[in-house]
Amino acid sequence: PEITKDSVYPVDAKEELLDECESIWKQMEECQSKLMHLGTETLLKSDAKLSLLMTRLKALTAEYNQWQKRSPELISTNQDVLLALGKEELQKVKNDLEMVLSTVQLKNKQLEEELKREQQWHEEQEQILDTLNGIEEETKTQVEQLSEQRVFHELQSKMLKLKIYKEELLDALGEFLEEHFPLPEKGGSAKKKVRFSYCFVHFINLILLVFQILINKSMTTPHEPYVTISDSFWPPYIELLLRYGIALRHPEDPNRIRLEAFH
């Protein structure tokens, strides 16, 4: 049957229950008085603290043994009293269970809300992670492109510097050759500054020409290897060959030279 708070105990059953409670209470007071009396007597002995503890131990042991031997007893044999007490106890249990149920439902609701927040946070973090990964990939690509462009510009800059340096070297070397090994000029008139490429090519060609003539002469007529210096041999080039020991003058005729016998 449904338990209600309007349950009313029968008057006779209520009075009977009160009488039984008073009787049990009187028995408890008598037992308490006896225990207090035993405790007071024990404290009069020499070792009061130890004796008190021993007495309490004995009392608890005796009580434990009594409870072990004792079987549950009904508070009352009146059916109306037992029914009313059962309804009241069930009502308490029902209230407690309803409270526990409400607490659990509230806790579940809080957990569901927290789970939704955690899932939303997780999705947001995944989106942020995907965005960061995309930015990282774009940054890597840009860095690679910038690195390639920077290397390309550096190479262009180095090539330009080398080209400028090469032009400077060519100009300096051309000036040196023009000053120390000028090309033959009629009437001895000074020639304006020329580029190294023109000067150097003619310089090498003339040197090789003289060197080839000397080699051919020494190979065809080894007994007479001397060559007569003509006007086609520019004196500075002849002096260069003589200075470095490539050619030798005739001991009697300075206008004749021969190739040094390197063998």
Compute the distance between CA of residue 110 and CA of residue 100 in angstroms, rounded to an integer. 15
- Give, as one character, the DSSP assignment of residue 244: T
Taking a C-beta distance cutoff of 8 angstroms, is the pair 202, 146 a contact? no
Q: β-strands 227-228, 247-249: how paired?
A: unpaired
SS3 260: coil
Task: Per-residue pLDDT tens, the chain, 263 aa: give them.
Answer: 444 444 445 556 667 777 777 888 888 888 778 777 765 554 445 567 787 888 888 888 888 887 777 765 656 667 777 788 788 889 999 999 999 999 999 999 999 999 999 999 999 999 999 999 999 998 888 888 888 888 888 999 999 999 899 888 878 877 776 776 665 554 444 444 444 555 555 566 666 666 678 788 888 888 888 888 877 677 777 787 788 888 888 888 888 888 887 65
Residue 250, CA atoms < 13 Å, CB-side half-sphere: 12
Taking a C-beta distance cutoff of 8 angstroms, is the pair 87, 7 a contact? yes
Task: Enumerate the domain spans of the chain.
Answer: 76-146, 151-181+199-259
Compute the distance between CA of residue 108 and CA of residue 96 in angstroms, rounded to an integer. 18
Strand partners, 249: 257
Compute the distance between CA of residue 257 and CA of residue 217 in angstroms, rounded to an integer. 11
